[in-house]
Structure 1
């Protein structure tokens, strides 16, 4: 059955659409290590969206706000019932079906044994469990080239399984930045700068012929537009999905969980923290005004919600899950 025929056969509610996606894409039985859901489906007009969890990434809590007073940061963590020293950051990627195109938004962490992150890098396996064949992916859109957004494509054997004509859309400024990356304003745990540098170098070498570079904005498919924001990295981008009067933004690393209450706090992975804060505030104001849905890489799975304004700060409003 073609993608167009599938759409005609699918009902209109999110619940029925989810059942339809499951029915047309066989899934494996869940083992005891998969008791927590790892995918969530929704529909934006004529576009199907599937959020996939790539697992979790344990990081020190000071990474959330290295410019904040430790006592203030500790109070925020306590108020959020989070541990004081380290906690698991979610990792989310998204699959979008628009027309005849199957589009992957970011590619997860992959495998880096030197960093000992066994619960991350689940994307390829979970795509398979959701019935998404790597060979069906026509386009990949990358928010940026940090390894937790490209690593899934560097897993052994993955490149042999993707389409030879698969297009990878990424901002030209991002590729340029990783030719000689500047980590002077970051505050990362030991080992991460070298791992990020190595992954970006390997990725651009292995997928050079697949890259489709854009300057500021580019339409990937009908209703799917990627826009460079900068900040987190010089070429960091967000992807807007719109159809049938509905909108959704995949914000990559422009927004973290703490960014609603404290949008000025600097994340340790931001290469230009001050610009990243400006980008974050501008994006959150846009989303609050439009009412569009927001998904971000490091918000709790499935990371689907809306933004409300709370004085000088913002409020995250998660969607009610549609079963």
Structure 2
């Protein structure tokens, strides 16, 4: 990957009427945000622990429909030195859940001129199916390097041996699909796993750190070079989380801890002025965080053409 390549006209199909990749330079490190599509989910997933009227009021303030919310699905490709690192792998394909607008990663990597075989490392923020499913699509494993290193927290691998869904609030079918995807991923890619406890340097300037909360092994990736900083926060931060960091996301396995993690990371981002990218913020999800009283404020970057 290079920024020269990613600025070339897309090779995607004519029906791709929206942008699906955005390049950011972090010192000497190249970062490319790629959209895997969107997940349409019930709005109660944004805050199932609050009064529906409060949730409806927030949606109305944001000019969003009251009944369904499109969750963006973003992954990043990082180039540091000789390493090409893919952070998360998108949804893939699950016909049982009827999510045809997601699972676009492989074709959009192709459109960006990124060969799956060039990826030296894969970092998983966690093992929910919208982060590992792209690896389970037919033909993908055969395109990957035989020496691919997959970095994931040991606590995450352990959790999915016997996952606890007692605190989540998911639509029907999702727990079974999540469990099945994690089990298949662990079986298919066991020999590639490079498990870490708390933190691991994946490449110069690229560090993955376990935060817990969303899942026990949920992790974030920090990129730093030449005084520039960027954090890929995975599922720790959602669009509603700036105004209401205490609202519980339906996919959080430990919602109270997830809220504490969210506040801690948002404060760090505001203090360090690091760029933020997150899985489910609207594409390209690149921006800064400001503190606004007891709440936070999302400040998207001006697109750089």
| TM-score, scaled relative to structure 2 | 0.98
Instruction: Give aligned pairs, total.
Output: 305
The structural deviation recorded for 1:190 is: 0.1
| TM-score, scaled relative to structure 1 | 0.93
1:21 aligns to 2:23 (yes or no): no
In structure 2, the residue matched to 1:35 is 17
The structural deviation recorded for 1:21 is: 2.8
Question: SS state of the match for residue 96, structure 2?
Answer: helix
Unaligned runs of 5+ in 1: 7-17
In structure 1, the residue matched to 2:54 is 72
**In structure 2, C-alpha distance between the alignment counterparts of 1:27 and 1:205, rounded to whole Å:** 35
1:300 aligns to 2:285 (yes or no): no
Equivalent residues in 2 for 1:1-323, closer than 5 Å:
18=3, 20-22=4-6, 27-28=10-11, 30-31=13-14, 33-323=15-305
Whether contact under 8 Å (1:26, 1:131) holds in the other structure is: no
Whether contact under 8 Å (1:27, 1:128) holds in the other structure is: no
**Deviations 1:155-181, CA, capped at 9 Å, x for gaps:** 001001100000000000000000000
**In structure 2, C-alpha distance between the alignment counterparts of 1:291 and 1:254, rounded to whole Å:** 18
**In structure 1, C-alpha distance between the alignment counterparts of 2:24 and 2:240, rounded to whole Å:** 25
The structural deviation recorded for 1:42 is: 1.2
Whether contact under 8 Å (1:232, 1:271) holds in the other structure is: yes
The structural deviation recorded for 1:22 is: 3.1
In structure 2, the residue matched to 1:12 is none
Whether contact under 8 Å (2:12, 2:108) holds in the other structure is: no
The structural deviation recorded for 1:315 is: 0.1
Whether contact under 8 Å (1:106, 1:149) holds in the other structure is: yes
Structure 1 runs (4+) greater than 6 angstroms displaced: none
The structural deviation recorded for 1:309 is: 0.3
Whether contact under 8 Å (2:27, 2:227) holds in the other structure is: yes
